[in-house]
């Protein structure tokens, strides 16, 4: 019984620290800004999918998505040292989409119109 309480307590601390990190370390867009590109990394079976969206250049968005992927999955997978892990990042154009969703076949589609978003390119990023 005491072990279960300890695990719940540790989870609460982790959840609060994650919330604190996300609250102060993320960049929020102004109302006039709109994300035009989506960088998406497919995690596979056990690893989490991660993405980054914004209007920056492709390399910046891909690097942000790669760092997020490494941070989210480090408890499941032991990554090599910095700069040695090669990740595949897919870029999509979401400028005309009213929200987006991904399916299991690597397709990005608009939530309202159900049309596929245009595929920009595939970038390899080392994180």
Q: What is the pLDDT along the chain (127 residues), one digit of tens a residue?
A: 333 333 333 334 444 444 434 334 445 555 557 889 999 998 887 788 899 999 999 999 999 999 999 898 888 888 888 778 899 999 999 998 989 998 878 889 999 999 999 999 999 999 8
Q: What is the pLDDT of residue 26?
A: 47
The answer to whether 100 and 41 have CB atoms below 8 angstroms apart is no
Interior angle at CA 85, CA 83 and CA 90, nearest 5: 110
Interior angle at CA 65, CA 76 and CA 102, nearest 5: 85
CA atoms of 98 and 104, how far apart (whole Å): 20
Provide the whole-model pTM.
0.71
Q: What is the pLDDT of residue 116?
A: 93
């Amino acid at each position: 019984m005491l072990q279960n309480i300890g695990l719940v307590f540790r989870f609460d601390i982790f959840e609060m620290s994650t919330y604190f990190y996300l609250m102060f370390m993320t960049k929020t867009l102004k109302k006039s800004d709109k994300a035009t590109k989506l960088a998406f990394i497919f995690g596979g079976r056990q690893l989490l999918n991660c993405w980054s969206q914004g209007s920056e250049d492709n390399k910046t968005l891909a690097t942000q998505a790669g760092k997020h992927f490494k941070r989210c999955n480090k408890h499941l997978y032991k990554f090599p040292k910095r700069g040695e892990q090669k990740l595949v990042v897919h870029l999509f154009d979401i400028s005309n989409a009213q929200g987006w969703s991904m399916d299991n076949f690597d397709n990005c589609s608009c939530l309202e119109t159900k049309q596929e978003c245009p595929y920009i390119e595939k970038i390899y990023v080392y994180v």
